[in-house]
Amino acid sequence: MSAKMARGQNSARRQPPGWRDRLRGYVLQHRSHCRDSLRRLLAEPMATLMIWSMVGIALALPSGLYLLLDNLKQVSEGWSEGSRRITLYLKIEQSDEMARLLGERLGRDAEIAAVKGIGREAALLEFRQRSKLDDVIDALGSNPLPPLLLITPRADSGGIEPLRALARRLATLPEVEQAQVDTEWLARLLALIELGQRAVLALTLLLAVAVLLIVATTLRLTITNRRREIEVIKLVGGTAAFIRRPFLYTGLWYGLGGGMAALLLTGALLLWLRAPVQELAALYQSSFTPVGLGMHGTTILLLGSALLGVAGAWIAAERQLRSIEPD
């Protein structure tokens, strides 16, 4: 009886741990390595702050340029809405009454949302106020300005090309001398924004490689300094994943710290520029306020910086740990 009980106890001892025990041990190992790597970084605050600063500056450059282009794009969208207007210069023989009748006819056009007429006298008065050339105008003896029609297309008419097509169609009317739509500057601005976005993408890729090199070089020196410790762990049977894990967490902390430093730098830049930008916008009768990265941009920045840190640590660990073997 006692022999059977002994065999049962031995088989119970030889029974492998369940998945819950393995999962618990796995989580405990990761938590221990995570805490230990952070503790080692905080034990050398100056060196850690330097790494975080270098990574933060590298990440803040594309983040700041992205903010600049994003705000400029929002401003250009507002300008686009305000500049979606066609000015019809009627022929000089057209009277204000003829211009009014033409405006009523155009107001029934399916592509036109609103028509505003400016008579010859109103146009001359506005020209006097803007040009300050009263003596020259008085010397002319007669009003040289034709009546105008300000055409506002419908909001669903599309972008710049449909606006130009509408202007060309209106220019063929017999009462119209010229149809003008000032969108060339806006098209150039949008082209510059698109070029800037591509440049920011290229700069982001280059600086991402720089972050990888910073983290990889730092971790390579750290692994070299802990060579004896790694040799001992390999002697007692430590696996490559077990040895690599603390360095991956160190890279994670480097990336997260650098991402937070980049957030602080971009936030400080935004606060520094907010007042001048608002003053400039007020000169153009605009209430535009610069916007930051927001929750979406902040998440992408922190997640991207963390992944870059882990990737740099993996590169350094894979290369260095292969060259370290116990004597």
pLDDT, one tens digit per residue, over 216-232 is: 888 888 888 888 888 78
DSSP secondary structure string for all residues of 251-319:
HHHHHHHHHHHHHHHHHHHHHHHHHHHHHHHHHTT--------HHHHHHHHHHHHHHHHHHHHHHHHHH
Does one domain contain both 171 and 300? no
pLDDT band at 1; cut points 50, 70, 90: very low
- Predicted TM-score (pTM) of this structure: 0.66
Last residue of a domain, one of 180, 214, 237: 180
Does one domain contain both 164 and 303? no
Does one domain contain both 128 and 33? no
CB neighbours (10 Å) of residue 281?
16
Does one domain contain both 216 and 307? yes
**Does the residue 15 lie in any domain?**
no
Number of domains in the chain: 2
Cα distance between residue 321 and residue 306, in whole Å: 22
Cα distance between residue 193 and residue 209, in whole Å: 24
Cα distance between residue 261 and residue 266, in whole Å: 9
Last residue of a domain, one of 158, 180, 202: 180
Q: What is the DSSP letter of 116?
A: E
Residue 275 has which token pair?
């007042």
CATH code: domain of residue 99 = 3.30.70.3040
Predicted local distance difference test score (pLDDT) of residue 68: 82
Domain residue limits at 144: 86-180
Does one domain contain both 195 and 307? yes
